[in-house]
Each structure stands twice: as structure tokens, then as C-alpha cells.
Amino acid sequence: MSSPDRAIPIGEDAGPAKGGLILTSLILVAAVANLNLSVANVALPSIGASFDASQTQLNLVAVGYSLGLAASVLWLGALGDRYGRKLLLVVGTLLAIPASLIAAAAGSIELLIGARLLGGLAAGMAYPTTLALITALWFGPGRTKSIAMWSGIGGAIAALGPVISGGLLEQFDWQSVFLVTLPLAAIALVMAIVFVPSHVNETTEAVDNLGGVLSVLLVGALILAINFAPVPNRGTLVAGLLVVALAAGVAFFIRQRMAANPLYDLGVAGGRTFWVAACAGIIVFGSLMGAMFIGQQFLQNVLGYSTFHAGLAILPGALFMVVVAPRSAKLVETKGARFALLAGYVFCLLGFLTMLLLWEDGISYRKVGLGYALIGVGVGLAGTPASHSLTGSVPVIRAGMASATADLQRDFGGAIMQSIFGALLAAGFATAMTSAIAADPNSQQISDNIESQLTKSFSSADALSAQYPQYSTEISDAAKTSFLDGDDKAYLAGIVAIVMGATLVFFMFPKKAEEEALLARFHAEDAGQGAEAAASGNDASSQTRPRPSTRSPLQPQLENDVSTDDDAGTSEQHDDEPRR
């Protein structure tokens, strides 16, 4: 039960009192995670040169953060639902500070990867609670607008990470990029402590910790298997990881069917609106992160951009995401989520086609900016309906699960797409470079050690060209050609994913009328629960009216932090405007 001092007044705009400050606090906490997610991309060439890292190791630096987040987000989100969302919000934001410091001080590529994983786990504590709290504190058009701001600003901040990092790398070493979020984390931490309510609609049911462990094994093993797939002589490791992922997946499915209070309600997840929106979001957000990941290396390695100019190059994507996201919210209200999702997919497809067909050595910035702008419009259009459809298609008792899935869209989508893109880039680069070496008239004079260095990564080949200036031009040209061969394969994978996602949405996602009927059904269910709870609240107290939810065998008991001073107003609020 909520205590009176934890009550959250509801204003005329169907949101909490001080809603602007609360939403700003939540967006800033999410910004810490979004910024940490993207700051490493622009520094990858510098990191590769500093540690003589392979392409797979660089992939893990980029993916490590989203891997830690994606693997833990369901479990940690459930722990927040049980023990306090604000608690995890504060602890996760606080833990992000030492994680960043460790990354900046890393003396080896392995320690850097470990620090990125730790940062992802910290984000797994803080990030899921941001959308869960938005879902609990706002409803109706107010919720849609809040999610649009959360989605658009979050995506833009992630896109701006390379700009900030690029500017730092012009003056400082690569370590500086991992210190970017420290001031923001400090501000977000203070605002979260001061403004975010302590308890909102939390459950008293036990957490399915076994399901949480299985979800970590499933996601972690799968993503690592994809990353190690192109590495020579790692077939046994990859097979073992895939076996672990398969076994964990089967065990997770069985556990969720049997658990009294499952971590992930498969009955809810089986709803067409829910699972199609989840898949759609994984592809959309994964496309954004994959494009940024490959694009930053292309700009520096092939076009020779400085780190700062490579960061600036993505600004059209960030700008269009911010501009389009609020309009996407209006589009969802007028045309439906299906229309907005498909419109976003069209622009994402055009973006990847631009990258595949126009991004070559020596191109002008106009073609680069066009590719990023199209991706930005696509994610701006599709991001809001992908998240909104998840949170809106479940009863209030599953809001935590829905918000965790919305977080998982970004994290798992980013980790999967970056892993696939990175694996294709690594394999394509190595294959093309091997062919270039074999075609060279002096190939017999190239030792196995030199060949291994040349095929390891672009940064390794570039370092080798400096050691042998007489062959510098030939090595540089071969490295650029090999990189372009690898990134073309990555862009093709993006196109295939977008086409598959659009096909899924077109045929399986409910049209506007059907979607509205589903949302109305859940709205009515919540209204009924609110009316019954309000009645029992009236019997329990005449001063404050905490509203417990109706509880079924599969429904956790919720705390309600809504109180008013007027009895009639309270009853009317609960009956006519149920909050999720």
C-alpha cells in the first residue's frame, strides 16, 4: 500500500504534478544510457590502433554496452517493479560513474570490453524504469506525447554521442570519450533523487529470479556467438555458445509457462499487437545503431574524416529524429501505429539503399548526410509507435513487462544488428583482403604473420602500411576496398531486415480500427479494476485513498500513489479516466 506522503497528484493534463520536472529527470537518466551507448563508435579506429585490436574485439567494444543492457533489462526491470523503480534508477545512474572511469583507465582491450559490459549492467538498472514510470504516471494522449519525447530525444542524444566524442578526440586521447557522461550522470542523479516519485504501481509478488538468470544466459550467449562467428578457429566456442543459448531459451520458455508469477508473461507477449510491435522495434532501433556503428568507421577509414567531422556527419539523423518524433505521435493518433511504422520502414529502407549504392570512396558529404537523414526520419517515425504499441497493448499490471520489452527493443536490437553488421564487416574485410593478397604479383613474399596482420582489421592494416612506406599506397587501397566490400554486406543485411520487418507489420499488425478496439478493451479492464479498488479504498480510509488493484492468480498487487482531497473528484477520476 502507498502511504500518504507518497501520493502523486494528478493534474488536468492526465499526468502527475510537476510532470515536466519528472519527465525531464527520466529523459536525463535515459540520456546517460543512450550517450554511453554511442560514444565508443567514433573512437573505434583510435582504440584499434592503440591496442592493435582485431575487428571482432572492436565489435565487442561497441556491442559490449548494449550486450550488458540487453542481457539484464528484463530481470532488472522486474526487480525494479518489485523493490522500487526509483531505487534501481538511482543505483544504476550512480554505478554508471565508476563504469565510465574504469573504461577510461583501461590498459587492455579486454578490460575495456569488461568496463563496457559493466556500464551496460548499470544502464539495465536505470533505463527500464524510465519508460515504466512514464507508463505509470501518464495515460492517453499525454502518455503518447511523453513517450514521443522520451523516444525522440533519447535517439537524438545517442546520435549526438559521436559528435561530442569526435570533438574530444581532436584534443585528447580515446579515453576521454568515456568521461563524457560524468557531468550528465551527476545532474540526472540529483534530479532523479529530488523529483522522481519513490513508489508508483509496484508489485508485491516475488521476482522470477530463475527466469532472470535464464534470460541473461539466452541473450548473452546468442550475441557472443554472433560476434565470434567470423573469427578463425573459434568454431567450437561458437557452437558451445549456441548450445547454451538454445538450452537457455527452451528452459526460459518452460519456466515462464510454469512459474506462478513469470518474469515474462507469454500470454501477453503472444498478443499480435505486442509481439509484432516488439519485432518491429528491434529492427528499427537496431538499424539506427548498426548504421551509426558501420558509418563511423566508413567515414574515418575510407573517407579520411577527422573524428570531429565524422561525429558532425551524423547530425542530420539526430535533427530529423527530434523533429519527426512528435509528429509521429500525432500520426499514431490520427492514422494508427501500423501506418506510422510502415512509413518509418520506408525511410529506413531508403537510407540503407543510399549507403549501399552511394557510399563509396571519394564521395561528397551530401550523399553521406542524405543516408543519415533518411535513417533519422525512419527511426523518428517508427520509434514512437513501436514503443507506444507495447505499453498501450497490455493491462496496467503488465506495464513493467511492456516497458522492459520496449527497452529490449533498443538494446537487443542494437546488440543483434551491431553484432551481425560487425561479423559481416569482419568476414567481408578478411575475405576481400585475402583475395587481394593472393592476386598480388609478390604474394609469395608475404609471410603468414604479415598476412594475418593485413586481414585482422582496417586499423591493423593501416598500422602495417606505416611500417612499410614503400607499399603504403597498395596496402591502403586494398584496405579501403576490403572495408567497402565488408560494409556492403552489412548494408545488404540491413535492407533484408527492413524488408522482413515491413512485411511482418503490413500483414500482421492490426489496422487502426482493430488496434483501437484492443486498446479500448484494456482501458475498460483497468477502469473496472480502478472502480473496485476505489470502492475498497473508500471503506478503508476517509482521508487518503490508496487504490489497490484487483488481483487474480496471475496478477501482482499494485500500489497506487494517487490521492486527492475531494471524494467526488476521486471517484470520477477513477471511473472515467483510469490510469495505467
pLDDT in tens, 232-268: 888 899 999 999 999 999 999 999 999 888 888 887 7
pLDDT at 529: 55
pLDDT at 524: 66
Average pLDDT over residues 301-325: 89
Residue found by looking up cell 510502415 in the block = 342
- Class of the domain covering 4-208+259-429+485-516: mainly alpha
Would you say 139 and 527 are in contact if contact means Cβ atoms under 8 Å apart?
no
Please give the grid coordinates belonging to residue 164.
561530442
Please tell me the total number of residues recorded for the chain in this structure. 580
Angle between helices 472-508 and 399-439 (to 10 degrees): 150
Q: How far apart are CA 53 and CA 312, in angstroms?
A: 25
pLDDT at 532: 57
Please give the grid coordinates belonging to residue 55.
575487428
Phi and psi (nearest 5°) for 313?
A: -60, -25
- Amino acid making up residue 25: S
Please give the grid coordinates belonging to residue 386.
513501436
Band the pLDDT of 361: cuts 50, 70, 90. Answer: very high
Phi and psi (nearest 5°) for 203?
A: -90, 155
Please give the grid coordinates belonging to residue 183.
557531468
Res 433 pLDDT > 80: yes
b/e 337-376 (16+ beta carbons within 10 angstroms → b):
bbbbbbbbbbbbbbbbbbbbeebeeeeeeeebbbbbbbbb
Would you say 300 and 307 are in contact if contact means Cβ atoms under 8 Å apart?
yes
Would you say 77 and 398 are in contact if contact means Cβ atoms under 8 Å apart?
no
Q: How far apart are CA 155 and CA 148, in angstroms?
A: 10
Band the pLDDT of 160: cuts 50, 70, 90. Answer: confident
**Mean pLDDT score across all residues of the chain:** 81
pLDDT at 248: 96
Which DSSP category does 446 fall into?
Answer: S
Taking CA atoms, 124 is separated from 1, 69, 88, 507, in Å, by 26, 5, 9, 33
pLDDT at 424: 92
Phi and psi (nearest 5°) for 16?
A: -75, 160
Q: 512 or 394: whose pLDDT is higher?
A: 512
Band the pLDDT of 304: cuts 50, 70, 90. Answer: very high
pLDDT at 10: 44
Average pLDDT over residues 61-65: 89
Would you say 152 and 326 are in contact if contact means Cβ atoms under 8 Å apart?
yes
Would you say 492 and 356 are in contact if contact means Cβ atoms under 8 Å apart?
yes
